[in-house]
Chains A and B, each alone.
Chain A
Amino acid sequence: MALIGETTGPVSPRDALMRARQRAALMPDCLVEARRIANTVISGWHGRRKRGIGENFWQFRPYAEGESLSRIDWRRSARDDHTYVRDREWEAAHTIWLHADLSASMRYKSRTAMVSKESRALLLMLAIADILARSGERIGLPGLLQPLASRHAAERLAQALMVEGDLPGLPEPNGMRTAADLVLISDFLDDPDLILARLKPLADRGIRGHAVEVADPAEALFPYAGRTEFVDPESGARLTAGRAETLGEDYRTAYQARRSYLGERLRQMGWHHIIHQTDRPASEPLMALYNTLSAGSGYRQAGGGR
Chain B
Amino acid sequence: MSALGFASPLVLAALLALPLIWYLLKLTPPKPMVEVFPPLAILAKILRREETPAQSPWWLTLLRMLLAATIVLAMAGPVLNPKQAGLSTAGPLLLVVDNSWAAANDWPERLSAAGQLLDEAEAANLPVSLVLTASDRPDATPQAVAEARAQLTAAKVEPVPANRATLKTVLAEGLGSTRPGTLAYLTDGIGTGEKDATLATLSALGPSEIRLITGKDEAAVAVTAVRNLTAGTEVTASRLSTMPLELPVTAYDRQGRSIASDVIRFSGGERQAKAILPAPLELRNEFARISVGALANAGSVHLLDEGAKRRRVGLIGGDADKSERPLLSPVYYIRRALSPFADLYEPKDAALDKAVTELLAAKPSAIIMADIGKMPPDAVTALKGWVEGGGTLIRFAGPQLAAASASDPFATVPLRQGERALGGVLSWSEPQMLAPLPQDGPFAGLDQPTDVHIRRQVLAEPSPDLAAQTLASLEDGTPLITRRETGRGEIVLFHVSAEPSWSDLPLSGHFVELLRQLVQLSHATVNAAGNGKAEPLPPYRLLGADGVLVAPSGAAQPLNPARDGSGIATLAHPPGLYGSEDGYVAHNLLPPGSTLQPLNSAVPAGVTISRQSILGEKPVDLTPILLALGVVLLLLDGLAVLWLNGLFARLRQVTAVLLATALVLTLALDARPLLAEDGKPGDDLLLQRLDTTHLAYVMTGEQTVDDISRAGLYGLTEFLTYRTALEPGAPQGVDLAKDELSVFPLIYWPVSAAAPMPDQKAISRIGAYMRSGGTVLFDTRDQSEQGLTGDAVTPNGERLRQILADLDVPPLEPVPRGHVLTRSFYLMTDFPGRYAGGPLWVEAGQGTNRTSDAAPVSADGVSPILITANDLAGAWAIDETGTPLLPTVPPDETQREHAYRTGVNIMMYMLTGNYKGDQVHVPALLERLGQ
Contact = CB atoms under 8 A, between A and B. Distances in A.
Interface of A: 1, 3-7, 105-106, 108, 187, 189-191, 216, 219, 224-235, 237, 239-247, 250-251, 254-255, 258
A230 B649 contact: no
A239 B39 CA distance: 11
Interface in B15-60: 30-47, 50, 52-54, 57
B40 A242 contact: no
B520 to A, nearest CB: 85
A251 to B, nearest CB: 6
Q: Chain B interface mostly helix, strand, loop or mixed?
A: mixed
A219 B38 contact: yes
Given A227-B31, A232-B40, 20 more contacts: A3-B33, A5-B36, A189-B41, A189-B42, A224-B35, A224-B646, A226-B646, A226-B650, A227-B33, A229-B35, A230-B35, A231-B34, A232-B37, A234-B38, A240-B52, A243-B644, A247-B46, A251-B46, A254-B46, A255-B42
Nearest to A223: B650
Contact of A251 (B32, B36, B42, B647): B42
B33 A1 contact: yes
B769 to A, nearest CB: 67
A17 B646 CA distance: 40
Nearest to A236: B40
8 contacts: A187-B38, A189-B38, A224-B35, A225-B646, A237-B40, A239-B37, A247-B43, A255-B39
Interface residues of B, number: 29
B37 A226 contact: no
Nearest to A191: B41
Nearest to A246: B50
Interface of B: 30-47, 50, 52-54, 57, 644-647, 649-650
A46 B57 CA distance: 65
Contacts, number: 118
Contacts of A216: 38
Nearest to A187: B38
A188 to B, nearest CB: 10
B35 A5 contact: yes
Contact of A240 (B32, B57, B645, B650): B32
B37 A227 contact: no
Contacts of A6: 36
A224 B36 CA distance: 11
B32 A231 contact: no
Given A219-B38, A227-B644, A244-B646, A239 B33 contact: no
A96 B649 CA distance: 47
B30 to A, nearest CB: 6
B37 A243 contact: no
A196 to B, nearest CB: 15
Given A1-B33, A225-B646, A228-B33, A219 B39 contact: yes
Closest 4 CB pairs of A and B: A226-B646, A225-B649, A225-B646, A105-B38
Contacts of A243: 644, 646, 649
Contact of B40 (A230, A245, A246): A230
A226 B645 contact: yes
A226 B42 CA distance: 19
Given A245-B649, A247-B47, A254-B45, A108 B644 contact: no
Contacts of A229: 32-35
Given A239-B43, A247-B43, A230 B53 contact: no
A233 B38 contact: yes
B271 to A, nearest CB: 68
Contacts of B646: 224-228, 243-245
Nearest to A229: B32
A106 B36 CA distance: 12
Contact of A250 (B46, B52, B645): B46
A239 B41 CA distance: 10
A176 B36 CA distance: 35
B211 to A, nearest CB: 60
A255 B46 CA distance: 10
A231 B39 CA distance: 9
Contacts of A232: 37-38, 40-41
Contacts of B43: 230, 239, 241, 247, 251
Contacts of A254: 42, 45-46
A108 B38 contact: yes
A190 B38 CA distance: 10
Nearest to B642: A226
A108 B36 contact: yes
